[in-house]
Structure 1
Amino acid sequence: MKRELGIARCGLACCLCSENNHCGGCDSGECPGDAWCENRKCSKDKNYGHCYDCDSDCKKGMFGKIKPYGFTLFVKRYGEEELLDCLERNERNGIVYHREGIIGDYDDFDDVEELIRFIKTGKK
């Protein structure tokens, strides 16, 4: 885990991403989603560092997927440090963020509350 990379604007975990060896993140000037990422554009337009800084219960862009929406909701409830602590503990316990491509153990959820419980406990 590269904790110093933290959480992306949309809530995804840059700190655990399999792309973090060559991706500089949302604000690096090298973001691969610069032209199309609706969440990046919106948060920048509103002068937010992250989508979790916004009061809206947004479902646009990446939030059509459970993982970024769930991670953002987790941070809104418990804070970014708690998310990073949970992700770090879960990684030590064998939970994998990206197992095949960009799909991993946090992607196997249909319910956001189940994902949040999994983040907190490390148990399905």
Structure 2
Amino acid sequence: MKRELGIARCGLACCLCSENVNCAGCNSGECPDKEWCENRKCSSDKNISHCSACTEDCKKGLLEKIKPYGFTRFMKRYGEEGLLDCLEKNEKNGIVYHREGLKGDYDDFDDVEELIEFIKTGKR
């Protein structure tokens, strides 16, 4: 885990991402997707660091997907450090962020509250 990369504005875990080994994270200004990312643009326009700091409960952009939406909801309750702590603990216990391509253990949920409980406990 590259904890220093933290959590992307949309809630994805830059710290665990294996998609682009050269990416320095969403907030670095060097993100390869920065030009089209709706969540980055929206949060920048609102002058907030993450979608979790927004008062709206929206599902636009990447928040349409369960993992970033659940991570964002988790951060609203427990903060970024709380999420990073849980992700680090879960990774050490064998929970995988990206298994095949971009899918992993956090993607296998339909209910956001079940995902949040999984993040907290590492158990289904």
Unmatched tracts of structure 2, length 5 or more: none
Aligned residue for 2:44, secondary structure, equals helix
CA deviation string 1:80-111 (max 9, x = no partner): 11111110110111000011111100000111
Secondary structure of the equivalent of 2:26? coil
Aligned mates of 1:16, 1:45 — CA distance in 2:
26
Tell me what 1:70 maps to. 70
* Cα shift at 1:28: 2.8
Q: Which residue of 2 aligns with 1:121?
A: 121
Deviation at 1:20, TM superposition (A): 5.1
- Poorly superposed stretches of 4+, deviation over 3 Å: none
More helix as a share of residues: 2
Q: Matches of 1:65 and 1:83 in 2, distance apart?
A: 17
For 1:19, give the aligned amino acid: E
Q: How many residues align?
A: 124
SS at match of 2:16: coil
1:109 aligned residue: 109
Distance (Å, rounded) in 2 between the aligned partners of 1:27 and 1:94: 27
Q: Aligned to 1:79, what secondary structure does the other structure show?
A: helix
* TM-score normalised by the chain length of structure 2: 0.95
Deviation at 1:61, TM superposition (A): 0.6
1:21 aligns with 2:21: yes
Tell me which amino acid in the other structure corresponds to 2:7.
I
Q: Which residue is 1:31 aligned to?
A: 31
8 Å Cα contact 2:8/2:27 also seen in 1: no
| Identity between Structure 1 and Structure 2 (%) | 79
State whether residues 6 and 25 of structure 2, in contact with CA within 8 Å, keep that contact through their aligned partners in structure 1.
Answer: no
Q: SS of 1:27's equivalent? A: helix
In the alignment, the residues of structure 2 paired with residue 64 and residue 36 of structure 1 have an alpha-carbon distance, to the nearest angstrom, of: 15
Aligned-partner Cα distance in 1 for 2:30–2:100 = 24
> What is the CA–CA distance in structure 1 between the aligned matches of 2:28 and 2:6, rounded to whole Å?
13
Q: Within 1, Cα distance between the matches of 2:27 and 2:55?
A: 21
Aligned-partner residue type, residue 99 of structure 2: R
1:82 aligned partner: 82
Conserved in 2, the CA contact under 8 Å of 1:14 and 1:20?
no
TM-score of the superposition, structure 1-length normalised? 0.95
